[in-house]
Structure 1
Amino acid sequence: MDVVDRWTGRRAAALQAALRMTHEEFAGHLGVARRTVASWHARPDVVLRPELQRALDTAHERAPAGARARFSHQLNAAPDGPAVQGQALTVAIAVVTRPDHVLLVCRRDAETSGLTWQFPAGVVKPGAVPELAAVRETLAETGVHCTVREPLGERLHPVTGVRCAYYLCDYLAGDATNQDAEENVSVIWAPVNVLTRFIPAEQLYPPILHALEGVPE
């Protein structure tokens, strides 16, 4: 049996494919959120957190012989190739505003210092409407109800390389609370005038900055 020294998004997706499981089934198998599994497909090069490394070690060790053989074949065929399920995924990002503030989540991220501030976001399923995904994931992550005011455009993220679709959203109701403690550490309303203290200016999509200039005080 092959030994995996380090689990990445690509290798986790390969194990999922070898086990012939859907996102929901694989998430349940590992005891993680569905969006966590989806994020591995969107970010194939991400190195997973230690607790996920251990969960995947166990899933790999307990996999049937046929599944382990399929997993080994995939890794040997293209160890550094594109992620399993090669369809390009889009992440819908909600820039939710209320007077003089914008909604942010603090994610655990093994690739940086361990924590990173971002706008609420979710992977768009094939055939799904990105605007609805942005609204749905904002509610699931933060408990905040919002509505899309206008699209801000799309780009390949300069750090992750993932295609991102941005939406300027208006706050409707709900208290900002951390609804996904597995992925996020905190949720806050950040003052617009200090946004770059949370997200480096060079990583911010320029249309976001332009849109936030019009946020009422």
Structure 2
Amino acid sequence: MDVITWTGELACHLQDAYRMSRDEFAGRLGVHSQTVAGWHSRPETKPRAEIQAALDTVYEKAPAPVRLRFARLAQPPPDISAQVLRVAIAIVVRGAEVLLVQRSDDKGLAWQFPTGIVKPGGSPEAVAVRETHAETGVHCAVQQPLGERVHPASGALCSYFLAEYLTGEASNLDAAENASVAWVPLSSLTRFIQPGRIYRPVLDALGVVL
């Protein structure tokens, strides 16, 4: 990798790539060891022009293994928030019934609650309402959040919302992903979705007794 401007942080990465002590690295650069110590305590520091040149020289003369280690050390940390898939799940209740969709994929058919992907910066609550309508034609309003968990099967971060039915006929509006849509009696919920797959606060909110 090419370094346009050295900072204290990058200089420390180069030191680590060489596997040198602070005194050894300072000697290689021709600076005082306190200068190197300052980079460790203030990584945002930008060394003077002559030290920038010295760092360039030390880097350019580095053997391939050192350059490889430096590139790995200088790589920015991954943006975890962008990597984790986040979904919003709507638990829509109408009287003694709950709304389910039957998902169709390469593993077959499985019943689940309406679900939508939350994009970075998006509102999970808004996604739960919007995707329920987009998938089923049902309008709902969130009553309360039921919590979040990392789904044990998919690894997605799931946000659950208890919602009340407002209006609309339930129908399958997303035939590309869903095979069916249905209002299911709360007393029969665990016949459609195995109890172990349902987030416990959802069961509690619905009053489903196992």
Query: 1:167: Cα distance to partner?
Result: 0.1
| Corresponding residue to 1:184 among 156, 178, 187 | 178
What is the DSSP-based 3-state SS (H/G/I as helix, E as strand, rest coil) of the residue aligned with 1:179? coil
Residue 142 (structure 2) pairs with residue 137 (structure 1): no
Query: 1:93: Cα distance to partner?
Result: 0.1
Residue of structure 2 in register with 1:98 after alignment: 94
Residue of structure 2 in register with 1:126 after alignment: 120
Matches within 5 A, 1:103-118: 103-111=99-107, 114-118=108-112
Q: Distance in 2 between matches of 1:139 and 1:177?
A: 10
Q: Distance in 2 between matches of 1:88 and 1:132?
A: 19
Q: Distance in 1 between matches of 2:172 and 2:111?
A: 13
Q: Distance in 2 between matches of 1:146 and 1:165?
A: 16
Which one-letter code corresponds to 2:95 in the other structure?
Answer: P
- Give a deviation string over 1:5-31, Cα, whole Å, max 9, x none: xxxxxxxxxxxxxxxxxxxxxxxxxxx
Which one-letter code corresponds to 1:175 in the other structure?
Answer: E
Which one-letter code corresponds to 1:88 in the other structure?
Answer: V
Query: 1:159: Cα distance to partner?
Result: 1.4
Larger RCO: Structure 1 or Structure 2 (Cα < 8 Å, ≥ 6 residues apart)?
Answer: 1
Which one-letter code corresponds to 1:196 in the other structure?
Answer: T
Q: Distance in 2 between matches of 1:161 and 1:87?
A: 11
| Corresponding residue to 1:150 among 119, 122, 144 | 144
TM-score, normalised by the number of residues in structure 2: 0.59
Give the aligned CA root-mean-square deviation in angstroms: 1.6
Query: CA distance change for structure 1 residues 144 and 161 in 2, over 3 Å: closer, same or farther?
Result: same
Quote the sequence identity (%): 58
Q: Distance in 2 between matches of 1:161 and 1:173?
A: 33
Question: Which structure is larger by alpha-carbon Rg, 1 or 2?
Answer: 2
Query: 1:96: Cα distance to partner?
Result: 0.2
Is the CA contact 2:82–2:120 (under 8 Å) kept in the aligned structure 1?
Answer: no
Query: 1:89: Cα distance to partner?
Result: 2.3
Residue 155 (structure 2) pairs with residue 161 (structure 1): yes
Structure 1, unaligned runs of 5 or more: 1-81
Q: Distance in 1 between matches of 2:153 and 2:110?
A: 12
Residue of structure 2 in register with 1:71 after alignment: none
Structure 2, unaligned runs of 5 or more: 1-77
Q: Distance in 2 between matches of 1:120 and 1:201?
A: 17
